[in-house]
């Protein structure tokens, strides 16, 4: 069963199979916050800068809220950040790098995160160039690789 928390009006009403005690269950999360920064083709208003102390704290707060929700609803369930990325269309490369490093650092604050995966669509969210077989070095540096 796949349920999307953002699609739910009342996430606390979501039923977790096995009450969160199933050892084969992982909670998978996708996140692109703030959407009009990470996805500048979102429409308007497009955000072309990011990285103030408040914006970085907002990311940490979002992760803290997710962890608090998970600890009360599924305390033994590991979390997988199954998809996160910032579009290559984002014109502020310094901001984009800071966004990546902030995301990874925020996940590392919580031991319930047991994995994460960058989204790579070979287009707007390309991290690996399949034609040249090269990685986006700025992104790799930002995530600590």
- Average pLDDT of the segment spanning 54-66: 92
Domain ranges of the chain: 27-142
> Nearest-CA neighbor of 119 among 98, 88, 97?
88
Superfamily of domain 27-142: Glycosidases (3.20.20.80)
**What digits encode the pLDDT tens for the residues 76-126?**
788 899 899 999 999 999 999 999 999 999 999 988 888 899 999 999 999
Q: Provide the b/e sequence for 66-102 (b: ≥16 CB within 10 Å).
A: bbeebeebbeebbbbbebbbbbbebebeebbbbbbbb
Share of the chain above pLDDT 90, in %: 49
d(C-alpha 64, C-alpha 59), whole Å: 9
Q: What is the mean pLDDT of the chain?
A: 86
Residue 40 has pLDDT above 90, yes or no: no
Q: What is the rounded distance in angstroms from the CA atom of residue 19 to the CA atom of residue 103?
A: 28
60 has a pLDDT exceeding 50: yes
Give dist(CA 29, CA 6) in Å, integer: 10
User: Residue with structure tokens 């199979």?
Assistant: 17
Q: Alpha-carbon distance 125 to 102, whole Å? A: 18
pLDDT at 72 over 80: yes
Instruction: Please determine, for residue 1, whether its predicted confidence score (pLDDT) is greater than 50.
Output: no
Distance CA 109, CA 25 (A): 22
Q: Is the pLDDT of residue 5 over 50?
A: no
Instruction: Give the C-alpha separation, 17 to 27, whole Å.
Output: 11
pLDDT of residue 9: 55
pLDDT of residue 52: 97
């Amino acid at each position: 069963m796949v349920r999307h928390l953002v699609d739910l009006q009342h996430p606390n009403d979501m039923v977790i199979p096995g009450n969160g005690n199933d050892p084969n269950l992982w909670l998978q999360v996708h996140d692109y916050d703030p959407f009009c920064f990470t996805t500048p083709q979102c429409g308007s208003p497009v955000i072309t800068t990011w990285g103030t102390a408040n914006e970085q704290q907002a990311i940490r707060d979002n992760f803290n809220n997710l962890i608090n929700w998970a600890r009360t609803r599924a305390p033994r369930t590991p979390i997988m950040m199954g998809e996160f990325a910032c579009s290559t269309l984002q014109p502020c490369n310094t901001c984009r790098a800071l966004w990546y490093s902030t995301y990874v650092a925020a996940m590392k604050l919580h031991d319930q995160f047991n994995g994460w995966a960058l989204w790579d669509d070979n287009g707007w969210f390309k991290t690996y160039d399949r034609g040249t077989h090269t990685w986006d070095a700025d992104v790799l540096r930002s995530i600590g690789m």
